[in-house]
Structure 1
Amino acid sequence: MTRATNYEQLKAAIEQAYPELPQQLQRIARYALDQPNELALGTVAAVAEAAKVQPSSLIRFANALEFKGFSEMQQVFRGHLVERSSSYRERIDRQRRQGQPATRGAGLLSQFVGDAVSELGQLEESVRAADLTAAIKLVCAAPRVHVLAQRRAFPVACYLAYALSQLDLRVHLLDGVGGMLKETLRNLERGELLIATSFHSYSQDVVDAAASVHARGVRVIAITDSALSPLKPSATVCFELGLASDRPFRSLVAPLCLSQALVVGAGHQLAEAGKGAKGGRPRA
């Protein structure tokens, strides 16, 4: 493995090395990809505490990626941070470091609003314009669009099913009622599209469904949280939102915002192609 010199190379190297890493180093890998800003700014002790590993594990993790030590690897993360130094996420992070947010009443609301703004700032950084464009083209070209999510991600699928149907697209919500998900998946045909959403801890049914239909020639758009998501190998386009998985209450602000951008983008493309949405515009 060649040592990475920029963040994109390092991200790819972590993804490649992840399956062979010991459990402690896998935990660091996930933290590094989910919280690159915290890794860039933290001391060895602070990062180790946040990732719930021993400080020595950070050295071993850096060595596994061909760095001489943690500091050398951290410079790559700091370089990435400098490139986008004025993001909303950093502004919120700076405010939060100045004092602990209140945990009751208006203070609790303020905390969740702050987390949401931070999440949206990270969303804008995480989603590449080329991926959004590619996903929009897949949605508009598919003879049928199927959407699938379970547990806390289910509202994302519901929104997509509703909003895409407002564009006069053929949309099917795979809700798995009655334990019939596997049977329903058999109806998906080559050339159709599945939009699958799942976050850590991932729904095995959703992961298996994406892998199953992908093997049969169905295109897959994955909305997930990490480059290490098990949805990624099945995805034609994969949105890795970098959502923190260690919070007790995780919001859906980022995936819903992304979904809305996907719907409205599809509406514009359909209108330009002469297949306009009802009333001339998408009702997202």
Structure 2
Amino acid sequence: MERKETFDELKLQISSEHGKLSKRLRQIAEFAIAEPDQMALETVAIIGKRAKVQPSTLIRFAKHFGYDGFSDMQRVFRSRLIDRALTYSQRIREAQAEGVVPTLTGDVLAHFVEADHAALQHLRAEIPPADLDVAVELMAQAEIVGVVAQRRSFPIAAYLAYGLTHLGRRAHLIDGIGGMGAEQARLLGSRDLLIAISHKPYAPETLDTVAAAAERGVKILAMTDNALSPLPPLAAVSFEVEEASLHGIRSLTASMCLAVTLVVGLGQKLAAAKPGAEAPGALAFDGAKSGNNKQSVAKPASRKVSGSPRRRP
């Protein structure tokens, strides 16, 4: 296997190979993606202990991906730390572990404020601007933008559908009401985009919808929590968002920030494409007035998408 010289390339390769690895090598793959700083800085013995594998297995893992040994692979993980003033993943964990476990509501608030601040800093450091540009271009070019998520991830999908609709886009929230998720998703075709949001343990309904859409040639934009998630291999562009948590209750702050960024980015692109005209709802989604301009949010009835599949003319 050809060795990779950058962390992003190696991460993508580990993700694509994950399902083919042996049990022990999968353990290392999951540890490497979740704890890249430890992979960069710790010794083979310490990493092996924390990943619950023998040091020799780490060497075998490195050779599987084309490196001469573990130290050779570790150099790629260390390159990720160059020019980074802070390790944001570690800041999130430290914010969660700092002090006594909060019991009072005010303490819980303080915990989440601090942890979410670290999560937002991590988001800014880790999301490549080029990927944001690709995502906005996909949304701009799509005839219909479908959005799918379940359970904890659903509020992000609901916001995206809301924001896209207020930009005058044909947004279709695949909510699966009445068990009709598959039928709703069949509205999308090869000229459309599906935004899929899913976090561990990854809702089967979302994964099934994404897999079926990808088979039909629908482009996929994924928002998830890990490079080893089932979504990135199917996506044209994928964002991995690390959230703050308390007792297993995870925040949505960073994911919602990314969603808002995509909507505003699209609004700016649409406005730039029409000199002298503002994209519908780009500045005030709630119908707020701008000076004496009483412009309301566009509601083009002729472009409204129903919940049932229909043929394009």
Compute the TM-score of the two structures, normalised by the length of structure 2. Answer: 0.78
Structure-2 separation of matches of 1:50 and 1:249: 24
The residue identity in structure 1 corresponding to 2:229 is S
Q: What is the alpha-carbon distance in structure 2 between the residues aligned to residue 267 and residue 224 of structure 1?
A: 23
Q: Distance in 2 between matches of 1:166 and 1:110?
A: 34
Partner of residue 278, structure 1 = 280
Aligned residue number for residue 132 of structure 2: 132
Structure 1 residues 244 and 116, CA, compared in 2 at 3 Å: closer, same or farther? closer
Relative to structure 1, the CA distance from residue 28 to residue 234 in structure 2 (aligned partners, 3 Å threshold; closer, same or farther) is same
Q: Comparing 36-45 with 147-156, which one deviates more in the overlay?
A: 36-45
Percent identity over the alignment?
Answer: 41
Superposed, 1:180-219 pairs within 5 Å as 180-219=180-219
Equivalent of residue 103 in structure 1, options 101, 104, 112? 101
Show the 5 A alignment for 1:216-227.
216-227=216-227
Instruction: Report the Cα distance in structure 2 between the residues aligned to 1:143 and 1:43, rounded to whole angstroms.
Output: 51
Letter in 1 for 2:260: Q
Alpha-carbon distance between aligned partners in 1 of 2:186 and 2:194, rounded to the nearest angstrom: 13
Q: For structure 1, which segment, 142-151 or 64-73, has the greater mean C-alpha deviation from structure 2 after superposition?
A: 64-73
What is the aligned partner in structure 2 of residue 89 from structure 1?
88
| Matches of 1:44 and 1:247, distance apart in 2 | 31
Q: Is the 8 A contact 2:243 2:252 kept in 1?
A: no
Q: Deviations over 1:87-139 (max 9, x none)?
A: 46178369659x74321235544443333233222222332212211211221
Residue number in structure 2 paired with 1:14:
14
Answer yes or no: is the 8 Å Cα contact 1:89–1:118 preserved in 2: yes
Query: How many pairs align?
Result: 282
Structure holding more helix per residue: 1
Q: 1:22 to 1:279 in 2, by over 3 A?
A: closer
Q: What is the 5 A alignment of 1:244-255? A: 248-255=248-255
> 175-184 vs 240-249, which deviates more?
240-249
1:141-160: per-residue Cα shift (whole Å, max 9, x none)?
22222110011111110111
Q: Equivalent residue of 2:3, what SS?
A: coil
Contact 2:188–2:213, Cα closer than 8 Å, also in 1: yes
Shift of 1:49: 4.9
Aligned-partner Cα distance in 1 for 2:67–2:38: 19
- TM-score, normalised via structure 1 length: 0.85
Following superposition, the deviation at residue 245 of structure 1 comes to: 10
**Gapped runs of 5+ residues in structure 2?**
287-313
- Counterpart of 1:30 in structure 2 is 30
Per-residue CA deviation, residues 237-273 of structure 1 (Å, 9 max, x unaligned), is 2223356999723222221111110000011111112
Q: Match of 1:177?
A: 177
Is the partner of 1:113 in helix, strand or coil? helix
Q: 1:32-60: per-residue Cα shift (whole Å, max 9, x none)?
A: 12321233233445534544545554333
Pairwise CA distance, 1:200? 1.9
8 Å contact from structure 2 (residues 25, 57) kept in 1: yes
Two-structure CA RMSD over aligned residues (Å): 3.0
Residue number in structure 1 paired with 2:3: 3
Q: Which of the two has higher C-alpha Rg?
A: 2
AA of the residue aligned to 1:92: R
- Residue number in structure 2 paired with 1:268: 268
The answer for the alignment partner of 1:152 in structure 2 is 152
Deviation string for 1:61-94 (max 9, x for gaps)?
233234454344323212211232x146178369
Q: Is the 8 A contact 2:166 2:281 kept in 1?
A: no
* Partner Cα distance (2:207, 2:176) in 1: 14
* Aligned residue type for 1:61: F
How many angstroms apart in 2 are the aligned matches of 1:216 and 1:13? 25
Alignment of 1:27-106 (within 5 A): 27-44=27-44, 46-84=46-84, 86-87=85-86, 89=88, 92=91, 100-104=98-102, 105=104, 106=106
